[in-house]
């Protein structure tokens, strides 16, 4: 019943997602956390954080609007790539719940500020196989990937995903293999030029070297409620994978290419967790591709009784985890 409602094309879907989002963010609005400058190399985020640091409530409101607006973008990306019904908004609900499943993900973080450009890169990669102008599509994907890394350094691994996408789509033009280098390093070049002019280039290079040398995975401590949330997300992810591998899903060549690219991005985002130095973004990294598969599954599968129960339970647990922080 609930999934059928979000599959339809009513304006009330967007209002419902807005209400759920407001309820999730309500504890943050009542007790706004201070804006932190997280460790690591996140220059554009640091610039924004320093500007907004005196206004923690404004930062919380901004994080809310970023996620809610990105939910529309995420919804459009999946619709344009046949991963969701064009009139549906299942992806909006899944995106908001997954990207705000934990209280610390509702804060203003480097991951959140870089996420719009990651979605831009993901859309370009999914469009690559069917694009009539592959050169510009590759450039957009690599440019967005490079720009996202200036907000949240672990996103730099998307450079691997861009070249992996070229292999998946069997691009043979030499020019199109060079284009990602131009697109990805263009924003990094301008930043390096600035650091050179202010005599900080060597200092920043040493900072990046320490991050790369210190590569390692750090699992956060989780309570019972958090384990329950991740357990439900994992169950729904496996249900989506099982369905997408079956005969009920779209098995066209174009869809198989998109699924392969999603797996590629998922793997490189797992690798990027090793570059995260406590910026509260590593958990959000893991949620992006499962939210795509789950939205795809919920949008097209015919038998969704258990999925619907799990989705409702997940929303309830996410709300409980946020209000638990407020009450404590």
Check residue 279 and give its pLDDT: 55
CB-based contact 171:134 (threshold 8 Å): yes
Cα–Cα distance measured from residue 79 to residue 9, given in angstroms and rounded to the nearest whole number = 13
Identify how many contiguous H helices and E strands the chain contains and give both numbers: 14, 0
Write out pLDDT tens, residues 193-234. Answer: 998 898 888 888 888 888 877 777 776 667 788 889 999 999
Check residue 219 and give its pLDDT: 67
Q: How many other C-beta atoms are found inside a 10 Å radius of the C-beta of residue 219?
A: 7
- Low-confidence residues of the chain: pLDDT under 70: 1, 39, 219-221, 277-282, 325-328
**Token duo for residue 21:** 């989002």
Contacts of 117 (CB under 8 A, 6+ apart): 144, 145, 147, 148, 151, 155
**Could you tell me the pTM of the whole model?**
0.92
Check residue 325 and give its pLDDT: 66
Q: C-alpha distances in angstroms, 315 versus 67, 220, 224, 276, 290?
A: 16, 22, 16, 27, 16
CA atoms within a 13 Å half-sphere pointing along the CA-CB vector of 283: 22
Cα–Cα distance measured from residue 7 to residue 236, given in angstroms and rounded to the nearest whole number = 18
All structural domains of the chain with their residue ranges: 2-213+224-327
Cα–Cα distance measured from residue 86 to residue 76, given in angstroms and rounded to the nearest whole number = 8
């Amino acid at each position: 019943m609930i999934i059928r409602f979000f599959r339809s094309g009513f304006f009330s879907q967007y209002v419902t997602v807005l209400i759920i989002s407001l309820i999730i963010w309500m504890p943050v609005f009542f007790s706004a956390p201070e804006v932190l400058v997280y460790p690591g190399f996140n220059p554009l985020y640091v610039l924004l954080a320093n500007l907004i640091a005196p206004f923690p409530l404004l930062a919380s409101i901004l994080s809310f609007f970023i996620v809610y607006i990105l939910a529309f973008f995420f919804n459009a990306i999946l619709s344009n790539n046949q991963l969701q019904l064009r009139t549906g908004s299942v992806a909006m609900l899944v995106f908001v719940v997954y990207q705000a499943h934990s209280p610390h993900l509702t804060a203003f973080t480097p991951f959140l500020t870089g996420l719009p450009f990651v979605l831009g890169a993901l859309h370009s990669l999914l469009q690559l196989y069917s694009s009539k102008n592959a050169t510009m599509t590759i450039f957009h994907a690599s440019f967005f990937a490079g720009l996202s890394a200036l907000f949240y350094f672990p996103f730099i691994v998307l450079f691997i995903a861009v070249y992996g996408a070229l292999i998946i789509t069997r691009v043979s033009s030499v020019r199109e293999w060079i284009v990602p280098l131009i697109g990805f390093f263009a924003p990094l070049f301008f930043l390096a030029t600035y650091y050179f002019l202010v005599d900080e280039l060597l200092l920043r290079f040493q900072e990046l070297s320490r991050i790369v040398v210190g590569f390692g995975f750090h699992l956060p401590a989780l309570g019972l409620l958090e384990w329950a949330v991740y357990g439900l997300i994992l169950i729904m992810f496996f249900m989506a994978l099982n369905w997408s591998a079956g005969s009920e899903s779209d098995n066209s060549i174009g869809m198989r290419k998109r699924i392969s690219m999603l797996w590629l991005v998922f793997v490189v985002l797992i690798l990027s967790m090793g570059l995260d130095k406590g910026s509260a973004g590593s958990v959000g990294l893991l949620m992006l591709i499962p939210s795509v598969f789950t939205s795809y599954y919920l949008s097209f599968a015919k038998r969704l009784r258990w999925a619907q129960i799990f989705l409702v339970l997940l929303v309830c647990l996410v709300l409980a985890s946020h209000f638990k922080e407020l009450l404590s």
